[in-house]
Structures are given as structure tokens and as C-alpha cells.
Amino acid sequence: MTMDHLDLANLRGLLLDLDGVVYRGMDPLPGAAELSATLRSLGIRYAFVTNNATLTPRQYQVKLGRMGVHVKANEVVTSPQATAAYLQAEAPPGTAVFVVGEHGLRQALRVAGFDVGGPDPRYVVVGLDRHLTYARLAEASLAIRRGAALIATNADPAIPVEGGMWPGAGAILAAVETATGARAVVIGKPEPALVRVALERIGADPEHTAMVGDQVGTDIRGGQAAGLKTILVEGEIAQVTEETRPDLIVRDLADLWTQIKKARGYPL
């Protein structure tokens, strides 16, 4: 389903979510393997834009490669990178930060010059943490009650995996906010900051760029907040609302490639 104002023939840039669009867990989804070759042949610039804060861009490159999706590390833009950029504008190098999260988030903050795990943290940064303990939650809560500001890489309530849906970073964030009464500054989708970092990375203008995602509440809203067209991949959490309607709905990436080629007069 498409709206009249989405011009696939003149699309110049695509920002693609990963979980639920390119893969589910470790299973590539239809159209993923030919993604890079297809978009290069069509002259469309692209980047992957993920709220998932567990891996570094290089780790995502390796993960995608194992699925037969061959990309460059700098084609992956993560919420930890956008979070680090936000904090660099707010605090000087060496500022102590307490992290509830995994390697991808810690690494991005260290590269940006922050003291991850240092004493008297000024910020508590929350991302997805599949090794979360009650003690870590308690430490984060105490730091906030001592005055640390709360930052979240994203507020996704759940993430798609092979067997269904697992709790996301938003579930962890909810625990911290409930325990402290604090409200986080959220960096990832649906806020526009992450999408804007990715847009700058590929050097495309919003008017001719679309955000592709499987979640209306994050991907579609995030793309719209940054002024992009939006494309929704159908799935178990792809529920359209009247308030947030995508410009195009596709079954999967394979369907999207077919529609773009058709719009441009390519043989199918």
C-alpha cells in the first residue's frame, strides 16, 4: 500500500532498521542478502539505523556478514553513537558515566572520552542489557538519587528475536524511572537525533530519503520527526495508527526492492 506523495522513482536515500527488517535474531529476512547490491545498482545511498545498543558497528558488520548481508561498519549507525554525541555536547571529556548496558554502549562512550564506571557519575545511561542484575539497577537508582541525570539510548519496550519478543531497553528504563521518579532524555527513535546522525552520515536530504522499519511507535514516528518519508515492514508489532501512518507498507525488503524497480521501469 502506498500514498501518492511517496515517489519511489526519485528516492535517493534509505535508512533501515535492523531488528525485524533485515533480520530476526540470527535469521536473515527476505530481501536482506541482496540489499547492498540492489541499492548500489539503484543509486540509493543507505545506512542501517538501530536503537539496539548491545553491539558496536564493527560487531554488527560481522553479524550481518554471517547472514550473507555484506556491509561496511560505517554503514551502521547505532543509538550508542548518537548518545555519545549528545553527551559530548553536554559534558566535558572525562565525565563519569554509569552504564546499564552492554559492550556496544560502553565502547561508544569510552571512544567519546567518558569515564565509564568512574566515581560520582554525572550521568546514568540505560540501554538494552541482557545480563542485567538487581544490583546494577540498585546502583543506577542510587546514582540518580544522588543527582545523576538519566539518559536512555532508546525506550523500545520489546525486541524481535527468533522465538518471539523479548523485553527491550524500554522495559529496563521503566524500572529505573519507577524506582527513582526520574524521566529520561531518550536519544533513539522515535526521537529524531539518531535518524539525523544517520542522515548526515549518508549525505542525503530528508525530502528524498525514507526510513524503513517494522515498528510504528519508533521507526515510523522517528522518521517522521526527522522529516523523512516512511516505509513500514509488516510484522507482529507493525500496527498502524491513525496518528502515525507510513507512506508505504511492504511485506518485506524483497517486496520493497520489487516496488522500487517497478517504479523506475526496471525489468522484473
Taking residues 173-183, report their average pLDDT: 98
Confidence bin at 2 (pLDDT 50/70/90): very low
In this prediction, residue 48 has a pLDDT band, given cuts at 50, 70 and 90, of: very high
- Beta-bridged to residue 158, according to DSSP, are 167
**Measured CA distances, 113 to 83, 86, 98, 104 (Å):** 13, 13, 14, 15
| C-alpha span between 209 and 195 (Å, rounded) | 11
pLDDT recorded at residue 242:
64
Query: CATH number of the domain at 79-186, please?
Result: 3.40.50.1000
Report residue 243's pLDDT band, with 50, 70 and 90 as the boundaries: confident
Predicted pLDDT at 241: 66
Among residues 19, 129, 156, 214, which one is catalytic?
A: 19
The one catalytic residue in 17, 156, 214, 247 is 17
Write down the pTM of the prediction.
0.86
Correct CATH for 8-51+190-263 of 3.40.50.1000, 3.40.630.30, 3.40.50.300, 3.40.50.620: 3.40.50.1000
Mean pLDDT of the chain: 93
- Catalytic-residue membership of 19: yes
Q: In this predicted model, what pLDDT tens digit does every residue of 82-126 receive, in sequence order?
A: 999 999 999 999 999 999 999 999 999 999 999 999 999 999 999
Report the percentage of the chain scoring pLDDT > 70.
96
User: Is the pLDDT higher at 168 or at 164?
Assistant: 168
- Confidence at residue 238, expressed as pLDDT on a 0 to 100 scale: 53
DSSP alpha helix (H) spans, the chain: 35-42, 57-66, 79-90, 103-111, 134-145, 169-180, 193-202, 221-225, 253-263
What's the rounded Cα separation, in Å, for the pair 88 and 138? 26
Give residue 104's identity as a one-letter amino acid code.
G
Confidence check: pLDDT of 237 > 60 = no
- CB contact at 8 A, 255 and 31: yes
3-state secondary structure of 255: helix
What mean pLDDT is predicted for residues 47-64? 94
Active site residue 4: no
| Lowest mean pLDDT across 160-164, 181-185, 198-202 | 160-164
Which of 149, 171, 152, 168 has its CA nearest to residue 160?
168
User: What per-residue confidence (pLDDT) applies to 1?
Assistant: 46
* Mean pLDDT for the stretch of residues 135-142: 98
Strand partners, 14: 46, 210
| Environment class of 205 (CB within 10 Å of its CB; exposed 0-12, middle 13-18, buried 19+) | exposed
The residue that leads in pLDDT, 140 or 239, is 140
**CATH 3.40.50.1000 residue ranges for the chain:** 8-51+190-263, 79-186
